[in-house]
Structure 1
Amino acid sequence: MQRHRFDFTVLDETDTYLVVDKPAPLQIHPSKPRDAGLTLWDGLRHLLCFELSNGGQISIINRLDRETSGLVLVAKTSATARRFGKAMLRRQIHKSYLALVHGWPAWEDLTEMSPILRAGDVQDSPIYVKQIVHENGQACHSEFRVRQRFEHRGEPFALVEATPHSGRMHQLRVHLSHNGHPVVGDKLYGTDETLYLAIVGQGWTAELASKLLMPRQALHSHQLKLEDEYGTLSWSAPLPQDMSDFIIQG
C-alpha cells in the first residue's frame, strides 16, 4: 500500500491497471483553471509519468464526487480501458458504499425502487443539480443494510452499507434522504438544502460546521468487484479516519 504525495493511497497495481483510495475532498478531474495540478488526475499523471512516456494512458473508470471518498479504478492501457468500459456498460462492475446517516432505521435491510429526476424539471428549485424522487422519474434501484447503530452527541446515527444497482445521479443520497435518513454532512439532501446555497455564497463557517457535523458528506466507496469473461477482480477500502472518528467519538 503506497501513500502518494497527492494524499491518495494505491491499493493495488499491475501493468494494466491500478486501484486507489481517494480521500475527500480530492477532486477527480480539473473543472476550473484554478484546479490544475490539484486533482487525482494530476496526481496520477505524476505517478504514471513513465508509463505515459512509453505509450500508456490514464482512464479513470468510476468517478466519485469530490466529497465522496474511496475506491477509484484506473486503466493504464487502451485494451484495459476497453475491457473495464464494456464491463461498466454491461453492469459487470458492482459497487458498494458505506454511509453515516441520521437516525436509526426501522429496517435492517431495505430495497428502494423509487424513480428519480432533476427537481427543476417538475418544480422551482434554486439548485440545478438537485434530484428528487418523483413518479415521472427514471427507474432507480438501491439496496441498503444497517451495519451499526450508534449515538453521537446524544443523537442516533447509523452506519449503512449502500449498493446501487442503477447509475442515476446522487441516487444513494436521494434514496436515503427520501427514507428519512440523510447522509451526515450532505449539504444538498440533508436536513436543510439552504446550507448548500450558504456554502456556495459564503464558504465554510463555524455555524455550518455545527449544523452539518462533518465538512463533507459521509459517503465512502467501500468495495468494487468486476466479473466478466476474463475473470473476477475485487477490491476493498477501509472506512476513512473521519468517518471512523465520528462513530468512535460518540
Structure 2
Amino acid sequence: MPSKHMLPKGQRRRTVKPEYRATRGIEPPAPPVIPTVDFGDDAEAEDALHTFTAAPEAAGLRLDQYLAHAIPDISRSRVQLLIEHNQVRVNGTPAKPKQKLHGGEAIEIEGAPHPPPLHAFPEDIPLTILHEDKHLAIIDKPAGMMVHAGSGATDDARNHGTLVNALLHHFGKLSDVGGELRPGIVHRLDKQTSGIILVAKDDSTHRKLSEMFAERQLEKTYLALVHGHIVRENTTISLPIGRDLIRRTRMTTRRSAESEGVRPAVSHVKVLKRIASPYGPFTLVEVSIETGRTHQIRVHLQAMGHPVVGDTLYGAPHHVGQLPDTLSLDRNFLHAAHLAFHHPQTRKAMQIDSPLPPELQQFLGAIGVN
C-alpha cells in the first residue's frame, strides 16, 4: 500500500524541491496560546483534587491535547494515562482521550498530574562493549533500545530496557553530571539508530567529553541508506533545525533561523555508492556532523529530498517497492559507524569502529548490494 507521504500517482517523478525552497524560512501559522493552569503548593499531592475551567482557547481541541498544553511539563502520554485510570472528569463525567472541548467545561483531576521522579535502575541486559577503561566505556547500541527513559515517563515499560539500565548493571557507578535518569550519558542516539555511543564513568571525564563535543573535537561518522540517487559526490548541509510546531514529535529545517529554539546545524554527506535496484534507486552515504541536534541527519537528508530508508517519520515509505515483508526494515537505516577522538584523561588517540548490523547488511543484500 503506498505511503501517505508519497506524491499522487502520476506525479511521483515530479520534484518537490521548488515548493520546499519557496517555503523555507516561512513560519507556519502559530497555534493558539493556551493559558497554563497553576495547581499551587499541592500540585504533587497524591490525594489532591484539582478543579479548573477549560480556557476559551480550548475550543475545538481534544481533551488530552488541551491538558498537555495547559499543565506545565506534562506529557500527552501522561495525560492519556490519567484519563485511562479515570482520574479526569469533564463536567462531572469520566473523560475520554479523544473528547473534543468547547471551552468553559469544568475539569477535575484526581491525584498528582506529574508522576514522582524516576530513577534509572540496573537491569541485566546484554551489551556489546567496544572499549572500556577506568574512565569511560564505548558501547555498540542496537536499534530499538532507548538510551534513557524520558523525563515524562512513568514507572512502566518506558523505564525498562534502556541503555542506562544496562550500563548500571554492567559498570555499577557512572558519572552523575547528567542526573539520575541519565548517569554517564554524554550524547545520545535515536531509539531506532544503532552504533557507537560514548559513556563517562566519572564526573571529570564527563565534563571533559562534554567540552570536547561542544568544541567539535570528536569525529563522528554515520552510514545511511537513503531513497533516490544523490547527484553530488559531496554535499554540506547547513540548515538550522527546530521543533516542528505542528507535529511536535518531528524536527524541521523550515522555520526561520531567528525563531525561538531553532539552532544551527551542519552535516557533511559523502556518496559511497548509488544503487539501481529492482525496488527503486538508493544511495549509500557517509555522514559526518559538526553539530549534534535532535534528529539532525534524518532531518537534513529529508531536506535534500532523500529520506533515510525506514524513517517513516521523515517521509520514507512504509514498504520498499515489492520487497518481501520479511526483509522490510522496522528501524532506520542509520548507523553510527566510526568515532575518533583523543582520550580526555590519557590524551591517547582513539579510533573506534562499529560494523554494520546484520539486519542492515541483509537489507543491502536484498536490494542487490554485494
The verdict on a shared fold, with TM-score over 0.5 as the criterion, is yes
Kept in 2, the 8 Å contact 1:69–1:220? The answer is yes
Amino acid at match of 1:130: R
Kept in 1, the 8 Å contact 2:175–2:200? The answer is no
Q: Where does residue 46 of structure 1 map in the other structure? A: 169
Which of 362, 366, 369 pairs up with 1:245?
Answer: 362
Amino acid at match of 2:298: R
Q: CA deviation at 1:113?
A: 1.4
Q: Where does residue 202 of structure 1 map in the other structure? A: none
Distance (whole Å) between structure 2 residues aligned to residue 45 and residue 156 of structure 1: 43
Amino acid at match of 2:253: V
Q: Where does residue 35 of structure 1 map in the other structure? A: 158
Amino acid at match of 2:170: L
Kept in 2, the 8 Å contact 1:150–1:247? The answer is no
Kept in 2, the 8 Å contact 1:7–1:23? The answer is no
What's the CA shift string for 1:178-236, capped at 9, x where partnerless?
A: 111100111211246xx7xxxxxxxxxxxxx96x9411111111111224773432211
Q: Where does residue 217 of structure 2 map in the other structure? A: 92
Distance (whole Å) between structure 1 residues aligned to residue 255 and residue 140 of structure 2: 36
Amino acid at match of 1:39: T
Amino acid at match of 2:139: V
Q: Where does residue 340 of structure 2 map in the other structure? A: 225
Kept in 2, the 8 Å contact 1:152–1:249? The answer is no
Amino acid at match of 1:87: M
- Find out whether 1:72 has 2:197 as its counterpart: yes
Which of 139, 158, 163 pairs up with 1:20?
Answer: 139
Distance 1:228 1:30, change over 3 A: closer
- Find out whether 1:145 has 2:265 as its counterpart: no
Q: Where does residue 24 of structure 2 map in the other structure? A: none
Distance 1:155 1:5, change over 3 A: farther
Amino acid at match of 2:364: I
Q: CA deviation at 1:46?
A: 0.8
Q: What is the TM-score of this pair, normalised by structure 2?
A: 0.55
Q: C-alpha root-mean-square deviation of aligned residues, in Å?
A: 2.5
- Find out whether 1:181 has 2:306 as its counterpart: yes
Distance (whole Å) between structure 1 residues aligned to residue 360 and residue 140 of structure 2: 14
Amino acid at match of 2:207: R
What's the CA shift string for 1:144-193, capped at 9, x where partnerless?
A: 0111222444311121111111222222111111111100111211246x
Alignment of structure 1 residues 187-226 onto 2, 5 Å: 187-191=312-316, 213-226=328-341
Which of 243, 247, 254 pairs up with 1:134?
Answer: 254
Bigger CA radius of gyration: 2
The alignment partner of 1:60 has SS state of coil
Distance (whole Å) between structure 2 residues aligned to residue 216 and residue 56 of structure 1: 30
Q: Where does residue 109 of structure 1 map in the other structure? A: 234
Higher helix share: 1
Distance (whole Å) between structure 1 residues aligned to residue 168 and residue 161 of structure 2: 11
Distance (whole Å) between structure 2 residues aligned to residue 37 and residue 130 of structure 1: 24
The alignment partner of 1:174 has SS state of helix
- Highest relative contact order (Cα 8 Å, sep 6+), 1 or 2? 1
Q: What is the TM-score of this pair, normalised by structure 1?
A: 0.80
What's the CA shift string for 1:39-78, capped at 9, x where partnerless?
A: 11111111113xx3xx976512121111010001111122
Higher strand share: 1
Kept in 2, the 8 Å contact 1:146–1:161? The answer is yes
Amino acid at match of 1:241: P
Structure 1 residue ranges without an equivalent (≥5): 196-208
Structure 2 residue ranges without an equivalent (≥5): 1-122, 177-182, 258-262, 319-323
The alignment partner of 1:59 has SS state of coil
Q: Where does residue 82 of structure 1 map in the other structure? A: 207
Identity of aligned residues (%): 34
Q: CA deviation at 1:108?
A: 1.2
**Count of residues in Structure 1 that have an aligned counterpart in Structure 2:** 222
Q: Where does residue 201 of structure 1 map in the other structure? A: none
Distance 1:45 1:90, change over 3 A: same
Q: CA deviation at 1:133?
A: 1.9
What's the CA shift string for 1:61-113, capped at 9, x where partnerless?
A: 12111101000111112222222122122221221111110011111111111
